[in-house]
Structure 1
Amino acid sequence: MRRIATALGAVVTAGTLALAIPGSAYAATGNLVINGVGHNNPSGCFATGTLASLIVNQTDGIAYVYSDLNCSGDVQEIIQPGGTALAFGSSVYIG
């Protein structure tokens, strides 16, 4: 009986990991353009290089503009897929 419980626990754990890992590897499809520089199928955090940035979100993901570097601080702007914004922040995150 103990072996069955151990095996069942391992199967449940493996199933949970299998469902969690694909979400973390997701990259937006399309182009994220920050001040004229394109990023194809972007994923992660990008520095804007300036305080005021023109951001064009031509992806299927939502872009979040953060006040500080490394996508920290407060969210200053949320740019929906297909949206464009003149945003004031130091970094952009897209998943």
Structure 2
Amino acid sequence: MRRVVTALGALAAAWMLSLALPGPAHSASGDLVLNGRIFANPSGCYRELNAPLSVQNRTGTVAYVFASRDCTGPAQTVPARQSASSAGGHSVRIS
């Protein structure tokens, strides 16, 4: 009986640990090209970019171009598999 209780305790501890560990980070599949620089499987905010900004979104998700340097405020969208340029773009977010 003691072995069963020990085994159940170990299983419960492993299950609790699996809940505490973060899952894999999600990124867009494909490439994001910003001013000629290629980012494979991009994710998050790309900051402090130089304007004018050329964006080639070679992923399956929308990219957002911001005039701010930290991906905040109003955004221009660049749909999946499309390109755009922004005279005042300084940051891009993609998930």
What TM-score, normalized by structure 1, do the two folds share? 0.69
User: Cα deviation per residue 1:2-21 (whole Å; 9 max; x = unaligned)?
Assistant: xxxxxxxxxxxxxxxx8xx8
What is the alpha-carbon distance in structure 1 between the residues aligned to residue 64 and residue 43 of structure 2? 12
C-alpha distance in structure 2 between counterparts of 1:91 and 1:81, whole Å:
17
Return 5+ residue gaps in structure 1 as ranges: 1-17
Higher strand share: 1
Q: Which runs of 5+ in 2 are unaligned?
A: 1-18
Q: CA 1:48–1:60 in 2, change beyond 3 Å: closer, same or farther?
A: farther
1:80 aligns with 2:44: no
Quote the offset at 1:32 in angstroms.
Answer: 0.0
- Is the Cα contact below 8 Å between 1:63 and 1:78 reproduced in 2? yes
Partner of 2:56: 56
Matched residue SS, 1:28: coil
* Residue identity in the other structure for 2:26: Y
In our comparison, the structure showing a higher alpha carbon Rg is 2
CA distance in 1, matches of 2:46, 2:60: 17
Q: Is the 8 A contact 2:48 2:70 kept in 1?
A: no
The two structures have a TM-score, normalised by structure 2, of 0.69
Aligned residue for 1:43?
Answer: 43
Q: Give the conservation status (yes or no) of the 8 Å contact 1:62–1:78.
A: yes
Distance 1:73 1:89 in 2: 12
SS at match of 1:72: coil
Percent of residue pairs bearing the same amino acid type = 32
The equivalent of 2:28 in structure 1 is: 28
Looking at structure 2, the residues matched to 81 and 94 of structure 1 have their Cα atoms a distance apart, in angstroms, of: 10
**Aligned pairs, number:** 74
**Higher fraction of helix:** 1
